[in-house]
């Protein structure tokens, strides 16, 4: 008997930002911005390393902990980049050395009035009972909320 299981699931999150597609896209492209909203995020997250990359076929690697907890890793590979329009990544995560998921995530940036509708679609394989799609969706919603704060910050600085 094996305890290996794979739960395949897909979810989408739509989020409106008061910033143009080019500005929202730039928050993904710019390594300093991406580190702030994606890796550092809200209070409690401790970034051990964030090796940014933003080109198709490149790896972007993050190593972090939440409030002194176990090491969490995220290894992302850029699959497709269409400037200001679309980013597709694959990424896998481990917690304490155990792989919890592998995912394909598509981000579509659509102009809507003076802002942007971001459509985030994750097609995930959640592994061995170590992660669940509901939890992943909540995590992604939180990250897309910190992106909103990054864009406000960027806007205030402009």
104 binds a second copy (CB under 8 A): yes
User: What span, in angstroms and rounded, lies between the C-alpha atoms of 78 and 58?
Assistant: 6
**At closest approach, how far in Å is the CB of 43 from a second copy?**
31
124 binds a second copy (CB under 8 A): yes
User: What span, in angstroms and rounded, lies between the C-alpha atoms of 140 and 122?
Assistant: 9
Tell me how far apart the 2 most distant CA atoms of the chain are, in Å. Answer: 59
Structure tokens at 70: 């176990």
Binding-site member from 29, 30, 75, 145 for a second copy (CB under 8 A): 75
Crossing angle for the helix pair 21-29 and 133-157, nearest 10 degrees? 110
Name the strand (E) or helix (H) holding 130. Answer: none
Residues in region 1-60 near a second copy by CB under 8 A: 2, 4, 6, 8, 10, 56-57, 59
How open is the CA angle 21-27-29, to the nearest 5 degrees?
A: 95
85 binds a second copy (CB under 8 A): yes
Binding-site member from 13, 22, 47, 77 for a second copy (CB under 8 A): 77
Residue of 53, 54, 47 lying closest to 73 (CA atoms): 47
Q: Which is nearer to a second copy, 10 or 49 (CB)?
A: 10
Q: Which is nearer to a second copy, 4 or 114 (CB)?
A: 4
CA dihedral 123, 129, 134, 138 (to 10 degrees): -90
Q: Which is nearer to a second copy, 13 or 102 (CB)?
A: 102
**At closest approach, how far in Å is the CB of 153 from a second copy?**
28
The site for a second copy (CB under 8 A) is made up of 2, 4, 6, 8, 10, 56-57, 59, 75, 77, 79-80, 82, 85-86, 88, 90, 92, 99, 102-104, 106, 108, 121, 123-125, 127
């Amino acid at each position: 008997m094996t305890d290996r299981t794979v739960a395949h699931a897909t979810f989408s999150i739509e989020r409106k930002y008061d910033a143009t597609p080019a500005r929202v896209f730039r928050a993904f492209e710019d390594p300093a911005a991406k580190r702030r909203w994606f890796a550092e995020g809200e209070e409690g997250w401790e970034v051990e390393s964030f090796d940014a990359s933003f080109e198709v076929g490149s790896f972007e690697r993050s190593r972090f902990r939440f409030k002194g907890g176990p090491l969490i890793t995220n290894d992302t590979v850029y699959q497709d980049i269409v400037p200001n329009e679309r980013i597709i990544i694959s990424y896998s995560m481990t917690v304490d050395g155990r792989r919890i998921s592998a995912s394909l995530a598509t981000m579509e940036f659509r102009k809507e009035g003076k802002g942007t509708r971001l459509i985030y679609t994750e097609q995930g394989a959640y592994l061995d009972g170590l992660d669940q799609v509901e939890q992943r969706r909540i995590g992604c919603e939180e990250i897309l909320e910190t992106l909103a704060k990054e864009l406000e910050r960027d806007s205030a600085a402009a």
